[in-house]
Amino acid sequence: MKKRFGQNFMVDPGARQRIVDLLDTPLDSKVWEIGPGLGAITQLILQRGFHVTAFELDFGFSRVLSEEFSQEEHFHLVEGDARKTWKQVAADHGIPQAIIGNLPYRSASEILESLIQGGCHPGVILATLQKEGAQRIAARVGEKNYSSYSVIMQTHYQPEIVGDIGGTAFFPEPEVTSSIIRLSRISGSTVEGDPLPAWYYRMVKAAFSSRRKTLQNNLRHWIARESDSMPGIDLPLIARAGSDMGITLNQRAETLSPEEYRRWAGNIQALAAG
């Protein structure tokens, strides 16, 4: 049976063990698992002594997990879409030390962006996802896959593609190769909250909205849309904020690094505050 997108269970014990071994987080840490399925990796994490909160969308899998781990003191199941439920869990219990997940191909990027843009920045994120998705996260300035997604993820994390996993390690066997990616929080990034301006991620996405256009053209439209929520910020101010860094609005979005976007946004905010 072939399945291109959606949830694929990791049936290779060696691959599961390899992933858990990469979770070098102190014992007793809080770990969130996204998409546990039938709980094969969940069991390994619990055996390591972690406190596990599992987010599962499928009702049938949730029932199996509830039965399988009903006696586990350090297991908590959250039913429903993780993108819609994680904020309440974080509000009630705090941000975890690590997140692990065999992420569905179709929604992996949305799940990760929801966490990062929502201010959930654990020390480590360890994910298995489609190879192309991992390459987009880890892409560097000027590379073909470098995008707003790369910038958003690398604003807070240093990505490392640890290795690939072939389709035979999963059931149903997918028609794509998966990659294991380890995201390590950059020193200085906060665990709770986000010190960046509220509009930072929208600015980054606007900068990449048309890759053939310059920053000036792309950001002009963004400012026009958000002028009411960003008093004092206009195109000349944005240009001035970048000038000390050697940034000009005649550049294209893919020529700037995540660190440059972050510093630029800080300069803009400081100038606007006057």
Domain holding 114: CATH number?
3.40.50.150
Task: Tell me, yes or no, whether 169 and 68 share the same domain.
Answer: yes
Alpha-carbon gap, residue 207 to 238, rounded angstroms: 12
Give the model confidence (pLDDT) of 206-255 as tens digits: 999 998 999 999 999 999 998 888 888 999 999 999 998 999 999 999 99
Residue 193 is assigned to a structural domain of this protein:
no
pLDDT in tens, 75-131: 999 999 999 999 999 999 999 999 999 998 889 999 999 999 999 999 999 999 999
Question: Between these two residues, 190 and 226, which has the higher pLDDT value?
Answer: 226
Total residues belonging to the chain: 274
226 & 181 share domain: no
Distant-in-sequence, close-in-space partners of 65: CB < 8 Å, separation ≥ 6: 36, 38, 39, 42, 54, 56, 77
| One domain, residues 110 and 216 | no
Q: Do 100 and 229 have their domain in common?
A: no
Q: Are residues 121 and 248 in the same domain?
A: no
Q: Which domain holds residue 170?
A: 9-185
Using the 3D structure, point to which of 142, 160, 185 is the last residue of a domain: 185
Tell whether 195 is covered by a domain.
no
Within a domain: residue 110?
yes
Among the candidates 130, 155, 185, a domain finishes at: 185
Residue position matching structure tokens 């997940």 = 101
User: Does one domain contain both 147 and 75?
Assistant: yes
Q: Which of 70, 137, 127, 130 minimizes the C-alpha distance to 102?
A: 127
**Shared-domain flag, residues 121 and 213:** no
88 and 65 in a common domain: yes
Domain count, the chain: 2
Q: In what order do the strands lie in the sheet with 51-56?
A: 75-79, 51-56, 30-34, 98-102, 124-130, 178-185, 157-165
CATH of the domain at 217: 1.10.8.100
| 74/211 Cα distance (integer angstroms) | 47
Euclidean distance between CA atoms 189 and 83, whole angstroms: 22
Domain boundary among 185, 213, 237: 185
Query: Is the pLDDT score of 13 beyond 90?
Result: no
**DSSP assignment, residue 101?**
E
| Residue 160 belongs to a domain | yes
The model's pTM: 0.91
Cα separation, 54 vs 98, in Å, equals 12
pLDDT band at 6 (very low <50, low <70, confident <90, very high): very low
